[in-house]
Copies of this chain bind each other. A is one copy, B any other.
C-alpha cells in the first residue's frame, strides 16, 4: 500500500464507482491474459497501472459509502458496499499477479506458440507520437473498425484512464491507446501513431 497516493474524498455516487471498477476489472483481465498468451510486457505494464486505479477507486467507494451512512439503518443498507470493494481489490490483485508473471519473464508461452494459432484478434498498446496525423482527430472520424478492423478499448492520458471512449473523444499527443484488432490492423495503427503512415 506504500505506493498509493493520498486519495482525497470526492462526492461520486457509489453506483458509478462500482460500474467503473467493474469495467476496469474486465479490462485488466483481458489485458493480463493477453499479456500472458502473447508474452507482451507492454500490456502487463498497463495492468499494473490499472491496479493503482482500482486501489484509488476502492478508497473512494469506501469513503462515499461511509459518508452516506448517517444512522444504523443506512449502515445496514450499505454494509455490502465495502465487501464488494474488497472483492474488487482481490480481482485486481490477481490480474496484477498474472501481469507480474509476464514482467518477471517467467515463461508461459512456448506451448502456446506451439499449437495451431488461427489469425485472431489481439490486444495491443499504442502510443501516439507528436508527428502522428491521428492527433486532434475524433475517434469516429477515423472509422477504425471499418477501415482496419481495430477498436479502442481504453485510452490512458497521463494518469487518467478513459474506458470505452465515446465517439466524440479527441485523440491527443502522448495518448496511450489500448486496442483490440487483427495483427495487420494493429500494425497499421502503430505506424500511423508513429507518423509512418499519413492515412489509414
Point out residues on A near B: beta carbons under 8 Å. 13-16, 18-19, 21-22, 25-26, 29-30, 32-33, 36-37, 65, 68, 76-81, 83-84, 86-88, 90-91, 93-95, 97-98, 101-102, 106-108, 110-112, 115, 117
Given A22-B29, A26-B26, are A80 and B106 also a contact pair (CB < 8 Å)?
Answer: yes
A104: nearest chain-B partner, CB-CB: B80
A-B contact list, 16 entries, CB within 8 Å: A15-B37, A18-B36, A22-B29, A22-B33, A26-B30, A68-B111, A77-B110, A80-B101, A80-B102, A81-B108, A84-B101, A87-B94, A87-B101, A90-B90, A90-B94, A90-B97
Assembly CA distance A117 to B77 (angstroms): 18
What residues on B are CB-neighbors of A97 within 8 Å? 83, 86-87, 90
Tell me the smallest distance from the CB of A95 to a CB of chain B, in Å: 7
Tell me the smallest distance from the CB of A17 to a CB of chain B, in Å: 10
B91 touches A106 (CB 8 A): no
A77: nearest chain-B partner, CB-CB: B110
Assembly CA distance A107 to B86 (angstroms): 15
A117: nearest chain-B partner, CB-CB: B15
Partner of A33, one of B18, B30, B78, B108: B18
Assembly CA distance A78 to B26 (angstroms): 26
Assembly CA distance A86 to B36 (angstroms): 14
Assembly CA distance A88 to B13 (angstroms): 30
Tell me the smallest distance from the CB of A143 to a CB of chain B, in Å: 21
Assembly CA distance A90 to B100 (angstroms): 15
What residues on B are CB-neighbors of A32 within 8 Å? 87
